[in-house]
Amino acid sequence: MFERIIKRFSGVRILVLGDIMLDRFIWGDVSRISPEAPVPVVVVDQETFLLGGAANVVNNIHSLGGKASLCGVIGDDEMGQKVLQRLNEMGIERSGVSVEPGRQTTVKTRIIAHHQQLVRIDRETTQRPKVSTLRSLSDYLKRNIKSFDGVILSDYGKGLLTKGMIRNTIRTARDAKKFVMADPKIKNFFFYRGATVVTPNTGEASSASRISITDEASLDRAGRILLKRLRCDALVITRGEDGMAIFEPHQKPFLVPTEAKEVYDVTGAGDTVIGTMALALGAGASIRRAAELANHAAGIVVEKVGTATVDQEELTSVMKERFGLK
């Protein structure tokens, strides 16, 4: 069953609309403490650039064999050019990406030594894009929505996903009978009312429901409140080392235990979850099946260092091992 779904990923097309970022990694070694301050001295070995934010959701879909298009905004700066260059190298459709003069492309720089992150440095612009940019993105959505199986809204709180943009995207997709998945930030949480699937983490679900999630009873109360208020088909609360909890109308919560053996880095795990779920839904899986696949995919990426992805072969192998298939 799972293997058939994974094989169908190549026929699924997903539009990812959200905050585009670039993840910069500086890799090195530490052998001494600075004489200037009690901090480690990192001798740099290499520097790598990877797609981040909404672009990393696209990266995950691409890695799993699906077809993804990216819609969002970057600045007319060096880092914005690196984003476009990487998209070109991967053969990812980028006509929905707007370049806004004067805007700074969001960059997260992580300094890593001995497989451990020492510090993260963020450069970002969080104000909303210009009206002309928002209009251009909305026009792109309306012109192209019918060619996609579903839409992912990837909200990192960097200004693109305004209330108007969110509501317009959900309405446009629903009118075209396409599913909408949303990975929300707490500031915009209830703007996602009417999305097909909403995937907050435990902290976001606690804040939005005003219930401190500390056990299964509080998880159940929070999940039911949010499901009702969001009017979504499913609420998927990602719980880190505790796995996931899936809430659907008129059904008991479905708990999916974590699959990670060792957690090295959770960077981008949420992007893996929502990207895998979208592909599975587009391939005809139920929400529960899609969530199980996404949970296993996330279990693979958190065992890797950096903004990692998973491919079809890795996911198929893990699913076969999990269910004792040959």
Q: What is the mean pLDDT of the chain?
A: 90
Handedness of CA 238, 178, 51, 80 (dihedral sign): negative
Geometric angle at alpha carbon 313, from 307 and 318, rounded to 5°: 85
Residue among 190, 216, 188 nearest 202 (CA): 216
The whole-number pLDDT of residue 264 equals 47
Decide if 317 is inside a domain. Answer: yes
Strand partners, 51: 22
3 state SS of 133: helix
Q: Decide if 114 is inside a domain.
A: no
Residue 83 forms part of a structural domain = yes
pLDDT number for residue 235: 96
Please state, in angstroms and rounded to a whole number, the distance separating the CA atoms of residues 306 and 297: 15
Residue 41 lies in a domain: no
Q: Give pLDDT, residue 262.
A: 55
312 pLDDT more than 80: yes
**What is the pLDDT, as a whole number, of residue 226?**
97
Paired sense of beta strands 244-247 and 254-256, if any: antiparallel
* Percent of the chain residues past pLDDT 70, beyond the cut: 94
Long-range contacts of 250-259 (CB under 8 A, 24+ apart): 253/219, 253/220, 253/223, 254/288, 254/291, 255/216, 256/291, 256/292, 256/295, 258/295, 258/299, 259/295, 259/296, 259/298, 259/299, 259/300, 259/318, 259/322
Band the pLDDT of 324: cuts 50, 70, 90: low
Number of domains comprising the chain: 1
Residue 269 in any domain: the answer is: yes
Neighbouring residues of 5: CB distance < 8 A, sequence distance ≥ 6: 280, 283, 284, 285, 289, 293
Q: State yes or no: is 271 an active-site residue.
A: yes
Does the pLDDT at position 304 exceed 90?
Answer: no
Span 300-310, average pLDDT = 69
Q: What is the per-residue pLDDT across 131-150, written as a single tens digit (0 to 9) for each?
A: 999 999 999 999 999 999 99
* pLDDT interval class at 316 (50, 70, 90): confident
- Residue 265: the pLDDT is 45
Question: Which pLDDT value is given to residue 323?
Answer: 66
Instruction: Using the predicted structure, report yes or no on whether residue 321 has a pLDDT greater than 70.
Output: yes
Q: Which of 23, 183, 265, 271 does the annotation list as catalytic?
A: 271
Instruction: Say if 217 falls within a structural domain.
Output: yes
Q: Is 230 among the domain residues?
A: yes
pTM attached to this predicted model = 0.90
Q: What's the pLDDT at 22?
A: 95
Q: What is the pLDDT of residues 257-272, one digit of tens each?
A: 876 555 544 555 788 8
Query: Which tokens belong to 260?
Result: 């990670």
Q: Specify the pLDDT at position 242.
A: 82
Supply the CATH number for residue 286's domain.
Answer: 3.40.1190.20
Report the alpha-carbon distance of residue 89 to residue 87 in Å, rounded: 5
> For 231-264, how does the pLDDT look when each residue is reduced to its tens digit (9 = 90+)?
999 999 988 778 889 999 999 999 988 765 555 4
So what's the pLDDT on residue 326? 44
Task: Tell me the C-alpha distance between 213 and 211, whole Å.
Answer: 6
Q: Which domain holds residue 168?
A: 2-20+56-104+127-323
Tell me which of 172 and 314 has the higher pLDDT: 172
HSE (CB half, 13 Å, CA atoms) of 268?
Answer: 33
The answer to whether residue 36 sits within a structural domain is no
Lowest-confidence segment of 88-92, 173-177, 222-226, 315-319 by average pLDDT: 315-319
pLDDT tens digits, one per residue of 169-224 = 999 999 999 999 999 999 999 999 999 999 999 999 999 999 999 999 999 999 99
